[in-house]
Amino acid sequence: MLIDFILLFLLAGVPYYLLLEKIPFIQKDKIFPIAALLVITGMFVSCIFEHKSSMPFIVIAFFASLFSLYKANETNNLHKLTYYILFFNAPLLIMLNTKESILYGASLIIALLGVYLMGRYYVKNYGSANYQSVTGMTLVSPYAGLILTVYFTALALYPPFPNALLFLNGILKSEINTLWYIVVVVIFFGNFLIAVRVMAKTVFGKPNDNVHYIDISPTERVLHLLIVSVLLLLSIIGLQEVIS
Amino acid sequence: MEKLVLLIPFLPIMIAIMIGFLHKKEHMPKVAIIFSSMVALLALFGTYYVMSTDKAIDGLGGYLIYNELSAILVPYVAILGLVIRKYSTKYMWDEPGYKRFFILLNFIFSAIYLLVMSNNLIILTIAWQLMSIGLYLLITFNVESKSAIKNGGWTMLVHKLADLLFIIAVILTYKTFGSFDLSILSQKWLALYQSGGSDNAMIYLIGFLFLFAAMMKSAIMPFHLWLPYTSEAPTPVSALMHAGVVNVGGILLNKMAFLLLLTPAVLNVAFVMGLITAISASILMLAVSDIKRSLGYSTVGQMGYMIMEVGLGAFSLAIYHLMVHGIFKASLFLESGSLIHHARKEPSVPKRLSYEIFWEEKPQYNSINMFRIIAFFAIFPVIVFISVKFLLGEDFFHFNVATLIVAFAWLTGTQLFLSFFEVSKANSPKVIFTLISSFIVVLFTYEFVGLALEHFLYGKNGELFYEVATLHISGTMTIIMIMSIMIVGWYFTYRQHFVGVPLGEHKPNKFRWRIYKMLAKEGYISDLYVKYFKIF
């Protein structure tokens, strides 16, 4: 029981970001690293202590997840979006078996790390991580457009990226019940809707004449290439897992 | 050596990577065309191997297979891909994102090959979803267009729903039958059918999930709206969408054919949904004012026929139908681009073959009696066909409802053609000759090639599907039902496009006007979506 409580908190089943957002000395861009760190700790804890996911905790995480979905839909800030998406996926992290949960969590955090770094790129070049007015990246800054497309395609649960494969692997190896159907449907569509909505406002759209577009620097390209490589490596693992 | 054929799904990815490294614009289509020609040659070699040895090529751990279905579809997709790439070379030249276009095109072709050649449900799931994301990126190719992005979003929503149903179906299949391997599963399903079938509700659920997933991606009503509204995509993408992507429903159902042996109710639902789609879309096709949307509804209608054929157990006919329709629709789309291109240069429409046959004004124009036209275009070809079949021998005169469906699919296609070209102005014998010839070609090809196709794809098992399709619609009933499509269609065609019809100066009948308005506005469904579902 205690381990369930701890995991509920660590695996982002409780939207504690509401509190963090209120603390003045914690900047918004620090919340994702804190949350990601706690999720990673949660993965270690679930690995060490044997446990079985409990229905009431999944339900709590699910309601918190719906709230995070609402928040993700409201925001135009890439930094905020990263932890909203992380919290949105929490019920799945709690519901899946340990190994599948760790693999899915890892792919989710890596894809979100990419988005987080893109947020920093926005801050550096456009003043804030708000993507509302910086539209049409594909045409004017093709590398940034391509990288955003990759990350959001991964988050929208499309192959060949690992999130989709590990999501499939996770749900395939878990027990099917009514809650399973509800959580799977909501997570599957929620991730997709958030990702497509952001893509429509960043990757696509007419370039804004009032914005001076700057593409990502060669150093940043290498960094993102590394992240994409890790994602593809996870895809191979995911494919092996799901086929085995 | 023959195992090389299994590399086909990966070759377009290699082509895309190569294009990614190219800097000169003129080299991109060259690389795409040269290497996709090699893919087409490899596909033809694979088909030759399968036909000559009567053996499927399998490998890569049994995940991919080049079997009878692949032998038919892969060369078709490869040749279609080659034509589309060649066409895109000049058509897309001035568009921003030329490289991106060719990369995405190769990406989606890779997904289609993977889908056709997959022998494992997991690989099929991956291909099924890859195709959706590839399609989305191609539909939204014109990134500056708000409507393209919005309609792309709606398309994706329908496709995502199809993906979800598909994934759940795959999971339930695994939990019920314990395997992902399609060859093993097909054997299990056939054995189960031969041992008397099963009343397991789970099997029916799986069947319905696969059917609805297929219906969504094949734009069957009520999941059809994405197709007519995505015509804003570049013309080569429209051609690919109408000739390739939309057919995946039919391909999926063919892959699941032996599962559907166990679920007659699923086949019955497929027939009914297909019938509703065929009738509604064929009417809407003639009522909507936008020519591209009209083409979209034409495809929806043809997909309706295809699902109907599956519902009747004519799985191979569905394959035949989707290929013939694909070629017809791709040529329509691809010709439209060049026609517009020429028309921009010349004040009058250029004298292309279609113009000479269908558009040219003939001085000996006489007013045409509607009933004579209907009799000529609809009844005469049927009489010719039946007479020839009868003359060939009584044994050969085996009444086949599927043949009727092909006949009426041809009729709706003809209506679309007539509504575009205003044939009556010409009153040309060439028109009549061409249309009736096309009818004879379509039906006779089905009789001789289509039935051979059935034997090739399913062998002696082909007959089983007809036995399972328990919704035995009599020939008369089918004629009555589908005749209604034809009569309504002809009525609209006649009223809208045939000259010499006095409309009069008086106001039209209110009731009829309202019906027309409702049809022209596509039942207000799209308005409803725009007004109340503001997701994208």
Q: Distance between alpha carbon B436 and the CA centroid of its chain, in Å?
A: 22
Chain B touched by A171 (CB under 8 Å) = yes
Pairwise CB contact (< 8 Å): B171 & A149: no
State residue A188's pLDDT score.
Answer: 92
Nearest by CB: B536 against A171, A197, A206: A197
DSSP three-state, residue B237: helix
Q: Which of residues 197-216 of A touch B (CB under 8 A)?
A: 197, 200, 203-207
Nearest by CB: B164 against A153, A160, A185: A185
Band of residue B215 on the pLDDT scale cut at 50, 70, 90: very high
Q: Angle CA(B65)–CA(B159)–CA(B227) in degrees, nearest 5? A: 105
Mean pLDDT value of segment B88-117: 89
Pairwise CB contact (< 8 Å): A243 & B174: no
Which residues, including other chains, have CB under 8 Å from residue B449's CB and lie 6 or more apart?
A: B320
Which residues, including other chains, have CB under 8 Å from residue A200's CB and lie 6 or more apart?
A: B149, B150, B153, B536
d(CA B137, CA B84): 17
Pairwise CB contact (< 8 Å): B171 & A185: no
**pLDDT of B354 above 50:** no
The pair phi, psi for residue B58, each rounded to 5°, is -125, 160
State residue B121's pLDDT score.
Answer: 92
Mean pLDDT value of segment B194-223: 88
Question: A192 to chain B: which residues are within 8 Å by CB?
Answer: 156, 160
Question: B118 to chain A: which residues are within 8 Å by CB?
Answer: none
Query: What kind and span of H or E run contains B57?
Result: strand B57-59
**pLDDT of B112 above 90:** yes
State residue B495's pLDDT score.
Answer: 59
**pLDDT of B476 above 70:** no
The Cα-based distances of B192 to A116, B188, B261, B262 in angstroms read 52, 6, 9, 8
Question: B130 to chain A: which residues are within 8 Å by CB?
Answer: 158-160
Higher pLDDT, B44 or B532: B44
Q: Which of residues 83-112 of A touch B (CB under 8 A)?
A: none
**pLDDT of B183 above 80:** yes
Higher pLDDT, A8 or B517: A8
Total domains in the fold of chain A? 1
Pairwise CB contact (< 8 Å): B126 & A206: no
Pairwise CB contact (< 8 Å): B129 & A158: yes
Pairwise CB contact (< 8 Å): A242 & B140: no
Higher pLDDT, A184 or B513: A184
Between chain A and chain B, how many beta carbons pairs sit less than 8 Å apart? 72
**pLDDT of B350 above 50:** no
Q: Per the structure block, which two tokens stand in for B38?
A: 């090699």
- B274-293 pLDDT, tens digit per residue, is 888 888 887 787 777 777 77
Nearest CA in chain B to A146: B100
> Which residues are registered as beta bridge partners of B65?
B58
How high is the mean pLDDT of chain B? 77
Nearest by CB: B156 against A136, A196, A206: A196
Band of residue B358 on the pLDDT scale cut at 50, 70, 90: very low
What single string gives the DSSP state of each residue in chain A?
-HHHHHHHHHTT-S-THHHHHH-TTS-HHHHHHHHHHHHHHHHHHHHHS-----HHHHHHHHHHHHHHHHHHHH--BHHHHHHHHHHHTHHHHHHS-HHHHHHHHHHHHHHHHHHHHHHHHHHHHHSSSB-TT---HHHHSHHHHHHHHHHHHHHTT-TTSHHHHHHHHHHHTSPP-HHHHHHHHHHHHHHHHHHHHHHHHTTSSPPPTTS---PPPHHHHHHHHHHHHHHHHHHHHHHHHHH-
Residue B243 is which amino acid? A
Chain B touched by A180 (CB under 8 Å) = no
State residue B395's pLDDT score.
Answer: 46
* Closest CA–CA distance from residue A185 to any residue of chain B (Å): 8
**pLDDT of A235 above 90:** yes
Query: What kind and span of H or E run contains B244?
Result: none
Q: Say what the pTM is.
A: 0.83
State which residues form the domain around A91.
Answer: 2-243
Band of residue B366 on the pLDDT scale cut at 50, 70, 90: very low
